[in-house]
Structure 1
Amino acid sequence: MPLMALRERLNVLVNSMFLEGLLDQQFRQLQMLQDASSPGFVAEVITLFCEDSERMLTELTKLLDQAVVDYQKVDAYVHQLKGSSSRCLYFFFAPFFYVGAQNVKLACIQFKQFCEENNKEGCEVL
């Protein structure tokens, strides 16, 4: 497929993600950090965040599947996930907030509240 056609398909995908609310205007700033010396920067940042998040969500699922939930461990993973979404704000000039990690952070805040309440149903809803 010609390069122009691939770029057009990428633009259509990105625009649809904007319309769905998965991306916001700040995503464009993340794209601006990518240059010829780091052509895969955006993909790398998103991939690292997704891999790290997937690992933590897998652990959270295992913990919540237990008959007796250890809310301190759950809270520790939620705290780590929240930190992952926030930490990159400072390290990469906030790129994860550009790809919806602000929503991850907000969900983690609510999740932590459910942990403090030992509310398994609330944790599972998130």
Structure 2
Amino acid sequence: MNHLLSFLFHQGVLDEQFLHLQQLQDETSPNFVSEVVNIYFHESEKLLRNLRTLLMEREYLDYKKMGIHLNQFMGSSSSIGAKRMSNVCVAFRVATEQNNRAGCFRALEMLEHEYCYLKNKLHELFQIEQQRALAAGVRYPVQNE
């Protein structure tokens, strides 16, 4: 688990905000981080759908509305420590500010790619954490001889 976390920090996928999130987790809320991240994933999928829908508009492309969605995406990504997601949102927002449709399409593809990568890696991390918690909870009965 520590190896995977180190890798994700080294790759710039996560930043110290993720560690702050982990510090909020304790015995009273052992699944806090995974619950927060699952909410993030649920909301992010809606934002990605909204961005794609806006980009598919033929007549009028509402760059301002895309910027609003991107600000939400950036804020939620920052709050869980998803550094690369935040960075891609910044690049995407620049494309919207320049009314650059082609740049927005490229940025959306990058955002979707980063999202899938982040989701897979965090899912892997939570599986390792769950296995570790299960292993720590296993108590073998002492046999009397």
Secondary structure of the equivalent of 2:13? coil
- Paired residues, number: 106
Give the greater-gyration-radius structure (CA): 2
Q: Deviations over 1:42-97 (max 9, x none)?
A: 101111111111111110001101213221221221122123234x3xxxxxxx11
Identity %, equivalent residues: 38
After TM superposition, the structure 1 = structure 2 runs for residues 1-126 of structure 1, keeping only pairs within 5 Å, are 14=5, 17=8, 21-24=12-15, 27-68=18-59, 69-86=61-78, 88=79, 96-97=80-81, 100=82, 102-126=83-107
TM-score by length of 2: 0.60
Runs (4+) off by over 3 Å: 10-29
**Compared with structure 1, are the counterparts of its residues 116 and 26 closer, same or farther at alpha carbon in structure 2 (3 Å cutoff)?**
closer
5+ residue gaps in structure 1? 1-9, 89-95
CA RMSD after TM alignment? 2.3
Quote the Cα distance in structure 2 between the aligned partners of 1:18 and 1:82. Answer: 18
> What are the ranges of 5 or more consecutive residues in structure 2 without an aligned counterpart?
108-145
Aligned partners of 1:121 and 1:62: how far apart in 2?
A: 15
Aligned residue for 1:93?
Answer: none
